[in-house]
Structure 1
Amino acid sequence: MSGIDFDSDVWKLTYGNTTVGKNQNWQFGHIKSPTLKEQAKRYFRDGLGQKFAKQDSLYRYCYGLKHFTKFLDEFELELNYCEELTYQYVMQFIWYLNQNLKSSGSRTGTYSSLKSVVTYGQLMGLEKYPKTDIFPQNPCKLLHAEDELVSKEIPLEVMEQIVEALKVEQDVVLKTMIEVAKETGIRLSELLNLKLDSIVPDFMDNPYLYVYSIKQDKDRVIPVRKRLVNAVQECIEYAKTFRGSSTLLFLLETGEPIQQWKAREMLFDFIGRHGIADPNDELEFAHVTWHQFRHSLGTDALSSGMHPIEVQELLGHDSLHSTSLYAKVRDIALRQEYKKVGFIGVVTKDPSRLTEKAHSAEELKLGSLPDGICRKAFEGDDSCKNFNKCLLCPKFITSPEYLEIHKQHLERIRKDRTKYMDEMYICNFEKVERIEIALESIIEQLEAMA
């Protein structure tokens, strides 16, 4: 890549299409071993030249290597080549990250910076790199990063205060930024890169927000309400006096683009000025980040019955893995509520003796189901409008002979919820959660009868 002085310990690069700043100083002077430094530089030079990763991502990886250098210094370790790294060193580094970095994102990002440098050399067959895999199979678990999303949804009490504060907020630009983030769940980088013409109508004149993702280098459109369209128009009118020739939607009153650090500062001031606090936290003011609006929208979308694939498209996730994490947020609260109800049908050793009158084999056959019996057959009703809701119906009966079927059913759900939903034509996680809890109750009762 042009502009790189490979021998220099500081690469001064520019990157125009970003909100983290145009000027980037890539620092390598902290790496004491000249040969280890050269291996690191080679990865970043090739990455920039071949574009196998985005410049912003590589820049963050370069910065993350500083923590690896601090780790080597603290434990008085000397490495001259990547090949000297061992599994034990990596595990020690993970322990160091857990002790010194509070954010799981920082821990995983720093870990990934080291792994990327090493695995690149291995994949390219370069000399002086480890000959075997030295990285653990489940780093997220070791870095305590699997379920941190649970704590990132904005609490309902805090969101209600934010909504009230927006009604009286005088900073039109900031107010509109929060409104857009709250309604669309777009990333901060996407928010700050919105253009004046980002809202476009379809052929039915319904408004859509056109979003470009720097992270993924692709576009997506998000349906928005007329109220948000009006808020954006008000913001555009307000900024006319200082906009100049800029096509960005959100600007400072100096006419300059809003950098990410500045946007975070603006949100922090907003929370403080309006005295927004979390009643469940001892802090004076609530801790709210731009990304939490994204988490909250994803959680609410799943709660309202939106299919995971639709939520994936709405938020611009690369895979369903990220989307599925939002379901985990709700699962904890839902499970507590549904546990109180459990299974509302009947578990019995002898289905034929449910009433004073004994039921014949023919009657039982009429109500036969793969995992039990529908009591409607005993009541002269052979129709049902509640498709796929047998386990949630008080008319459902099951007995010990169906125990293994219930266990297999529960296993299917836990193995792959999304696949189960598709196969069973279920459109929301809430129903799956209720079925799972019903199955747990059924299995527990049937096993007690054995």
Structure 2
Amino acid sequence: MIFGRWVQAFEDYMLVEKNTSPLTIQYYLTDIKQFEQFLMAESIDAINRITHVEIRLYLTRLYREKLAKKSVSRKLSGLRSFFNYLEKEDVIEKNPFLYVSMPKLDKKIPQFFYDEEMQQLFAAEDGMTPISQRNRAILELLYATGIRVTELVGIKIEDVDFTAGLLLVFGKGRKQRYVPFGSFAEMELKKYINDSRPKLQNKSEGKNNTLFLNHHGKPITDRGIRYILNRMLEKAALTSKIHPHKLRHSFATHLLNQGADMRSVQELLGHESLSSTQVYTHVTKDYLKKIYDNAHPRA
């Protein structure tokens, strides 16, 4: 093998020193393995023989396989991080990925729900069972805070501060931030914690302090959240597609449309750079029309 023990060393470094999420590390390891297989097929058998020429050949192969620019960019980012580590450890003199440009990604406007669609979603889950109450609490909290699903599944009961109306969230790299939540989310959370969660907890032999539990009384997973949201969409009879990030997009879009400043939204979302938040500066047609009607003397 070309990379040998350095793959395990890089995994330990990312987990312990960089606090990278296990899912991201798994992506990186897969990308490293695929790149290594390509190099071996090209008769490259040593790390110090890898140059920008081989990397560009690899890029050509990825594009030939019709990989999306976003996927190619992610692979390059992971490999660049790995080779940065190799340079840091003096395994190589210079990172060859520094001589290769990242693909220019197409800018896409984030999809979001309109206010009316959100109301349909909230009204769709109207049952009184523990599962229905849990689902309403999940939906309310996702929309009220704009947190990622990976952040939601990691929330503990003690992370919810009802007195201050704040939620302690552990974001990327285990960075902490406090996010406020409103009265609707508070009401549904209290119902779930006081009534529904104990009933779900009783279905499991072990006790845990994870906020959201599945029907077996165990911590809910990312996949479980996606399933719940898709079922809600079916009940609401909405034709648009749903994915967990769409609620995050809706949260940011609605805040900005109502006059929130960019820096505040950046902090709430847990974005490191303002450029990540600026993608939400788009406005809906309805909002533009409203501004026009209110501001133009001849409207």
TM-score with structure 1 setting the length? 0.55
Cα deviation, 1:338-388, whole Å, max 9, x if unaligned, reads 9x99xxxxxxxxxxxxxxxxxxxxxxxxxxxxxxxxxxxxxxxxxxxxxxx
| 1:87-126 to 2 correspondences below 5 Å | 87-98=52-63, 99-102=65-68, 104=70, 106-126=71-91
Deviation at 1:218, TM superposition (A): 3.1
Whether the 8 Å contact between 2:110 and 2:279 is mirrored in structure 1 is no
Deviation at 1:138, TM superposition (A): 4.8
Whether the 8 Å contact between 2:80 and 2:97 is mirrored in structure 1 is no
Deviation at 1:137, TM superposition (A): 6.4
Deviation at 1:108, TM superposition (A): 3.2
For 2:9, the equivalent position in structure 1 comes to 42
Q: Select 2:190's aligned residue among 233, 245, 256.
A: 233
Deviation at 1:257, TM superposition (A): 0.6
Cα deviation, 1:59-113, whole Å, max 9, x if unaligned, reads 331133344356558xx42332233333233234344445444582x44332222
SS in 2 for 1:221: strand
1:68 aligns with 2:35: yes
Q: Select 1:54's aligned residue among 13, 20, 45.
A: 20
Pick closer, same or farther for the CA change 1:63–1:253 going to 2, 3 Å.
same
Q: 1:210 and 1:336 mapped to 2: Cα distance?
A: 33
Q: Select 2:280's aligned residue among 303, 326, 329.
A: 326
Pick closer, same or farther for the CA change 1:81–1:160 going to 2, 3 Å.
farther
For 2:174, the equivalent position in structure 1 comes to 217
Q: 2:9 and 2:233 mapped to 1: Cα distance?
A: 44
For 1:152, the equivalent position in structure 2 comes to 111
Q: 1:301 and 1:174 mapped to 2: Cα distance?
A: 23
For 1:175, the equivalent position in structure 2 comes to 136
Q: 2:246 and 2:99 mapped to 1: Cα distance?
A: 30
| 1:359-370 to 2 correspondences below 5 Å | none
SS in 1 for 2:272: coil
For 2:98, the equivalent position in structure 1 comes to 135
1:265 aligns with 2:227: yes
Q: 1:70 and 1:153 mapped to 2: Cα distance?
A: 40
Whether the 8 Å contact between 1:181 and 1:293 is mirrored in structure 2 is yes
Pick closer, same or farther for the CA change 1:167–1:251 going to 2, 3 Å.
same
* Higher RCO (CA 8 Å, separation ≥ 6 residues): 2
Pick the structure with greater CA Rg.
Answer: 1
Pick closer, same or farther for the CA change 1:53–1:240 going to 2, 3 Å.
closer
Matched AA of 1:230: M
TM-score with structure 2 setting the length? 0.79
SS in 2 for 1:222: strand
1:300 aligns with 2:277: no
Deviation at 1:147, TM superposition (A): 2.0
Pick closer, same or farther for the CA change 1:120–1:151 going to 2, 3 Å.
same
SS in 1 for 2:166: strand
Whether the 8 Å contact between 2:169 and 2:176 is mirrored in structure 1 is yes
SS in 2 for 1:135: helix
Percent identical across equivalent pairs?
22
Q: 1:155 and 1:86 mapped to 2: Cα distance?
A: 49
Q: 1:194 and 1:185 mapped to 2: Cα distance?
A: 14
Q: 1:152 and 1:36 mapped to 2: Cα distance?
A: 40
Deviation at 1:302, TM superposition (A): 1.8
Report the RMSD for the aligned CA atoms in angstroms.
3.4
For 1:243, the equivalent position in structure 2 comes to 201
Matched AA of 1:115: R
Deviation at 1:185, TM superposition (A): 0.4
For 1:362, the equivalent position in structure 2 comes to none
For 1:373, the equivalent position in structure 2 comes to none
Whether the 8 Å contact between 2:137 and 2:192 is mirrored in structure 1 is yes
For 1:368, the equivalent position in structure 2 comes to none
Whether the 8 Å contact between 1:184 and 1:297 is mirrored in structure 2 is yes
Gaps of 5+ in 2: none
Q: Select 2:268's aligned residue among 314, 328, 335.
A: 314
Cα deviation, 1:402-423, whole Å, max 9, x if unaligned, reads xxxxxxxxxxxxxxxxxxxxxx
1:162 aligns with 2:121: yes
Pick closer, same or farther for the CA change 1:108–1:241 going to 2, 3 Å.
same
Q: 1:297 and 1:228 mapped to 2: Cα distance?
A: 13
Whether the 8 Å contact between 2:3 and 2:47 is mirrored in structure 1 is yes
Deviation at 1:54, TM superposition (A): 2.4
Whether the 8 Å contact between 1:72 and 1:78 is mirrored in structure 2 is yes
Q: 1:217 and 1:123 mapped to 2: Cα distance?
A: 23
> Which has the larger share of helix?
2
Gaps of 5+ in 1: 1-33, 279-285, 342-391, 395-450
